A and B are shown apart, each in its own frame.
Chain A
């Protein structure tokens, strides 16, 4: 059974449509991420599930029950915000116990659950302190403890890591995933950060302009983008115009002017069925630069010239001119990076390529 079900949800603000007829099923116990750039409707969607916004059309069900008319305080949800939203006038323990007061939990039981929640977020000794006396990362852990101590049906996380600094964000990411795994609560996570989404989710929902672009497991979304938007938004991709020049049982042959004919597995080209315009998608880290002539078995190679080098320490990002196209390649640096103006061989394995339907040409 799905924990949360959205059916034909529309949200309009005046004449602006923030969410266009969206349907989504969130599986029980899953960690589902709504991923997209700002303004894509992901936070609006989360707020509708929470009950902070009413959908203009459509139905929201939690645990199989329609909740459109249920106000937020009766939905039994855990909500964590970007800016922690702790109650500044209450101690940490009182913050966490807040939700238990409205659930008729006896005092002794409540104290025990608060203690357990503090242990779960690995801050057992801060119960007597006030939120202001804690660091940002600690405050966010308390906010998480406060949200899960009520044993919510669904945990909703609205960019909970974006206010933290980079190092802390990565350790909190691991921590958050550990806690979610431990208690097994269905979680909806909103972020614009693709690495957070890829690292944490069971399922990623990529959104743009109020519409769902793709729903899939992290690897699926990363390796087989369903739309050009997904290909461009996740990671760095080369997207080349071409056409389908041949098809057989398991593979499509796609002809792209810059690199010639490439055979792509049908499984990596779900939107294509036969002849016509197509787009070839190759991840930047799947393009290997080599000295001219050095070819490995099973690779396709084309000649190119390095135009720009963006040195990143362990890796470098190259912009390489190949025919009329500029390709992006991210390679680990072995000895020293290629220099600007150097002639290189750009190698790729056909099985690393994916294909999308081309535009109407």
Chain B
């Protein structure tokens, strides 16, 4: 009896979470002019229109460029910061660590306004570079958390063994530490990319005029009308943001199994 109740609740919770997603995906293949039920037939016409919509394609390119650069910069900085914090006696290590993690704890709106005001004071104009900087700031904590956790589990004596065999500190990092760290770096990059790709709050504040990312583009389109194209775009976003980590995990698992589990 008690178990059945729990099962029922679980199903309801999942429905509540995933039904809207399913509805969006379902409606994206609806042939009707209006994005609502009842469905009138199966069609991929909204995807075709999406592919012909210059504004959306431009937003896609911006988002992917932004996400990729964010992932690369964040993971580079994250690996370096983690190395310093875990492997070296940096003065004020705890304070630095807390400061680097802080962007997760501060509400994004506050962070967004703060950065904007700061740049205003410095009289720097909004630009793509600023947008990129903002994204790096709030994806960095995720990278650092993932990489640090992994780095702590890499035994120091493995690196010491490599050095005793003749590898310089740089060679030891490239030959031993980085390959062992790779799954975490990879996960951190995926995190950074998907967070950047999905972000709207900070992006709305920081983006220069004329630049749209996919989320801000959807937001702009919604203000005019609810076109079924948005459902198609939503579906693409869902597949991309859910699919990337799945592909990533599959790759990581294959890499692990090649080395004998």
Partner-B contacts on A (CB < 8 A): 50, 52, 71-79, 81, 83, 85-89, 98-99, 101-103, 129-130, 132-133, 143, 146-147, 150, 156
Contact = CB atoms under 8 A, between A and B. Distances in A.
Those 4 A-B pairs whose CB atoms lie nearest each other, nearest first: A102-B166, A99-B165, A79-B164, A130-B260
B257 to A, nearest CB: 11
Contacts of B157: 81, 83, 85
B163 to A, nearest CB: 5
Instruction: With a 10 A CB-CB cut-off, give which of B157, B160, B164 has the most chain A CB atoms.
Output: B164
B167 A102 contact: yes
16 contacts: A73-B167, A73-B169, A73-B172, A77-B164, A83-B155, A83-B157, A85-B160, A85-B161, A86-B161, A88-B158, A88-B180, A98-B162, A102-B165, A133-B260, A143-B161, A156-B164
A89 B172 CA distance: 13
Interface string B148-192: 000000010110111111111101100110011000000000000
B171 A102 contact: yes
Interface of B: 155, 157-158, 160-169, 171-172, 175-176, 179-180, 259-261
Given A88-B180, A88-B259, A89-B179, A99 B166 contact: yes
Given A98-B165, A156-B164, 18 more contacts: A72-B163, A73-B164, A73-B169, A79-B161, A85-B161, A86-B161, A88-B158, A89-B180, A89-B259, A99-B165, A99-B166, A102-B165, A102-B167, A103-B166, A129-B260, A132-B259, A143-B161, A147-B164
Which secondary structure characterizes the binding site on chain B? helix
Contacts of B172: 73
Contact of A79 (B155, B160, B168, B259): B160
A146 B158 CA distance: 12
B166 A52 contact: no
A76 B180 CA distance: 25
**Most chain B CB within a 10 A radius of its CB, from A76, A87, A132:** A87
Contact of B168 (A73, A78, A81, A156): A73
A323 to B, nearest CB: 52
Contacts of B180: 88-89
A98 B160 CA distance: 13
A71 B260 CA distance: 34
A140 to B, nearest CB: 13
Contacts of A133: 260
B167 to A, nearest CB: 6
A76 B164 CA distance: 7
B260 A81 contact: no
B164 A72 contact: yes
A147 B172 CA distance: 16
Contacts of A99: 165-166
Contacts of A83: 155, 157
A160 to B, nearest CB: 12
A101 B165 CA distance: 9
